[in-house]
Structure formats: structure tokens, C-alpha cells
Amino acid sequence: MTDAGGPGAIARLRDLLEGQNTLGNSTRFWYGFLVVVGFMFVYPFLTNPFVLKVNTDYFVWMILALSLAVVWGYTGIFNFGQTAFFGLGAYTFGIVGITLIEVTGGTNVAILAAVVVTVLASALLGYFMFYGRIRGLYVAILTLAVALTGNLILVRTTNTTIGAAELGGNNGVTGIPSLTLGGGPLSVPLGITAQYYLVALLLVATYLGLRILLNSYYGYVLLAIREDEDRTRMLGYDVRKLKLIAFSLTAGLAGFAGALHAAWGNFIDPTVMGLTAASVPIIWVTVGGRDTLIGPLVAAYALQSISTKLSTVGSGYTNIFLGAVFVLVVLFFPDGLIPAIVARWRERTGDGHDIDRSNTTEAEA
């Protein structure tokens, strides 16, 4: 009998994490993954608090990118308003956090409220969309309209107060509490380094959890819906229910990211639901590759880093850069940069399959 902590346990874990629905099924990939994760956790010792704080927000945006990758890339639901749920989660966290921080002593309730409110709101929207048989481009238009409507409503909340939080209109909500775990006398406010470690851990857990989901039976059904919704329905699956679940869960993940963003900056304003904000995650997922998880992660981090540097030069350069990258990738790498790089690597090395696993499982490297 194999020891539960030995090679057998590792093999079972890899069986959960690996499959044809995700890039990166080789031993070399996992070694590289461990190196990257290890570097993430020693990074605070190599940089200053300002850079560390900026990178924490990059990790938050990467979680948002993962949520869109699943609902759009793997399920085929083109949600152009994913930032609407991101913003809803951020505003909910801010309102509940400001109102209850003196009572609870922590932000646990605020985080939970952000996720629950976002899931319920997305489920309501999704119910009318999917059970009303709205699909394709019309879903994109409707979700974008929801985001823009949310932006317009929030802009007009200059003198509006909910609980102890002043919405502030264009000026946004200020004084949002930072992440504080626990409650009462046992509450622990997280400093810059602690927030970095927590968000980094959440990012890694989200990525691995989504790999397990997409390589499960449910993940294969999601891909079947993306490829041919009508045939999947004919096979006996309740497509509307499955799409509603995927839409709501990924919206909840986006709302969770929004809560982390609000806690990170202690501020949120209506621009998070604007047209520009709604377009940016679409660019990340398109550039990285819609059929991957690792692609949107890399693209979100790289493009956000470059955008931050360009914003110090001038406000318009960021949009020009993102627009140019988006157009070039769509024209020359329609499947995304990461899948194109992987394909090129396989051509040059002749390593089309993972020799460490099976001849039917594709490897990323």
C-alpha cells in the first residue's frame, strides 16, 4: 500500500489538477510553478513596501482575470460586464466594512457580504438572461449595459449615505477599512506585507481550485456548452442551469476580488464600472488566451505593470498601448500569446506530449 504522503498522494493530486482543459501538465511545469510561487513568497524581502503594495493589487486583478477566463473562455458566456460585479463587491465591502468595523472589529463580515451580494445579483441577472434564452452577443451587450448603468447610478450618489458610508458620487467611497481578520479583541489588522502574503495565497489557491474544477466532469460539461450549446442540451443537460451556476460563481469570484481591491486602496469610485474598466479584463484574457488559465494570469500581470509605468508618463498612453496590443494579438495571435508560445516551443523541441504522464495528456512545456 502506498503511503498517503508519498508518491501515490502526489499522483492523485496531479490527477485532480491536470487534464486536457488546462495548459501545464508536465513535471517541468510544476517545478516551474513551484519556483514562481517560491519567488512570490520571498519577494517581500527583496523589495520596498511601495512596490510590494502595488504588486498586491496586481494579484487582485489576476483573480479578476481568472474569473473572466472561466466564464468567457471555458463556458462561452461573453460577460462584458465582469467589472460590474467587481465594483459591486468593492462597494459592498466598503459600505459594510465602514458601517460594522466598530461593531465587529474585523472585515470578515464585509468580505462575506461582498461575495453573497454579488452572487445573488448575478444570479438574478443570469436567471432572466439564460432562462429568457438570451445568448451570444446579446449577453455581452446586456452585461455591458449593466456595468454602465451601475456607473451612471453611482456617479449620482453625491449626497447618498448607506449605513455609515458616504457614497460620494464621482469622488467615491473613502475611509474603507483595510483587511482585518478575526473580530472584537482578537481582530488582527493586516499590514502591507501581511496583505501581500494573504492575497498571494488566495491567488494561488484560486488558480489551483479552478484547475481542479475545469478538469472535473463539470468542467468538461462547461466546454461542451461552449462548443455546442444545442447539442449539449439534446444530451440531457440543463444548459440554462449550468450557465447560471457558472455565471454566478465567477461573478462571486469577481466580487471577492473587488472586496480585496477596496480593502487594498481604502477607496473605490464609479470608474471601476466604466467602459474603459470593463474593456481591460477582456484585453487581458484575449491577449493571454481564452482557452487557458495561465495565459490571462500572465497577461494581467504584465499589462497592468506596463500600464502603471505608462500612466506616470501620461494618462492617454495606457489606453493607446492596450488598444494596440489588443488589435495586434487579435490579428496575428487570435488564440492568444501564451498558446502561440507553447505551440512554437513544441514545434522546436518536438515535445508535443508529456512523457511524465500519458500520451494523451498535453504538456505546456
Task: Summarize pLDDT for 79-101 with one digit per residue, the tens.
Answer: 999 999 999 999 999 999 999 99
Q: Where are the extended beta strands (E) located within the chain? A: 161-162, 165-166, 173-174, 180-181, 188-189, 267-268
State pTM to two decimals: 0.93
Which residues fall within 8 angstroms of residue 162, CB to CB, at 6 or more apart? Answer: 95, 99
Residue 313's pLDDT is 81
Q: How confident is the model at residue 187 (pLDDT cuts 50, 70, 90)?
A: confident
Summarised one tens digit per residue, pLDDT across range 267-311 is 999 999 999 999 999 999 999 999 999 999 999 999 999 999 998
62 pLDDT higher than 70: yes
7-21, 202-216, 339-353: the lowest-pLDDT one? 339-353
Strand partners, 267: 174
Summarised one tens digit per residue, pLDDT across range 325-346 is 999 999 999 999 999 998 888 8
- How many Cα atoms occupy the beta-carbon half-sphere of 10 within 13 Å? 5
Residue 359's pLDDT is 36
Backbone angles phi, psi at 349, to 5 degrees: -95, -15
Eight-state DSSP code of residue 70: I
**246 in Cβ contact with 257 (< 8 Å):** no
Q: How confident is the model at residue 14 (pLDDT cuts 50, 70, 90)?
A: confident
Eight-state DSSP code of residue 175: -
Strands 188-189 vs 173-174: parallel, antiparallel or unpaired: unpaired
Determine the angle formed by the axes of helices 294-311 and 49-68, rounding to 10 degrees.
130
Alpha carbons 363 and 24: distance in angstroms, whole number: 5
129-133, 145-149, 305-309, 313-317: the lowest-pLDDT one? 313-317
Three cell numbers at 57?
493589487
Q: Where are the extended beta strands (E) located within 240-350? A: 267-268
